[in-house]
Amino acid sequence: MQKSNAGADELIALILEGIEEVKGHQVKLLDLRDIENTVCDYFIICNGTSNTHVNAIVSSIRKIVGNTIGDKPWHVEGEDNAEWILMDYVNVVVHVFQKQIREYYDIEGLWGDAKVTEVERSLNQ
């Protein structure tokens, strides 16, 4: 039985807007609601081209989510080296990687039972 999606839709949309604003790459939304014993309902995964780009993506997400709905991540990890930054918004966890680190850890492969949606970038970019 799928859990309710109430409240998550707006947060997801704002996070995706933050990623798109600074041109994050290979954006995927993993729906974990039908998997038992998960720590959250959704993963959003993307990558940047450098530690500067990864930091820019995280800053953009923080700014857009914070300014629009006043929400802050409950926890953030990985900002020191910016190879993989995890932003925990409780029901939605954002993973921002550098490409080679993303390929190494293969989060999508580890969560193979999740429903995966590839997020296309807007045509206006």
**CATH number for the domain including 60?**
3.30.460.10
Query: What is the rounded CA–CA span in Å between residue 31 and residue 107?
Result: 13
Mean pLDDT by 10 residues, the chain (125 residues): 64 97 97 93 97 98 96 95 96 97 95 93 55
In a domain, 97, yes or no: yes
Contact predicate 41/3, CB 8 Å: yes
In a domain, 80, yes or no: yes
In a domain, 94, yes or no: yes
User: For residue 122, what pLDDT is reported?
Assistant: 64
In a domain, 18, yes or no: yes
Count Cα atoms within 13 angstroms, Cβ side, for 77: 6
User: For residue 7, what pLDDT is reported?
Assistant: 78
User: For residue 120, what pLDDT is reported?
Assistant: 84
Q: How far is CA 62 from CA 18, 86, 95, 112, in A?
A: 8, 12, 13, 28
**Total number of domains constituting the chain:** 1
In a domain, 5, yes or no: no
Domain that holds residue 43: 10-118
User: The pTM is what?
Assistant: 0.91
Query: What is the rounded CA–CA span in Å between residue 125 and residue 86?
Result: 26
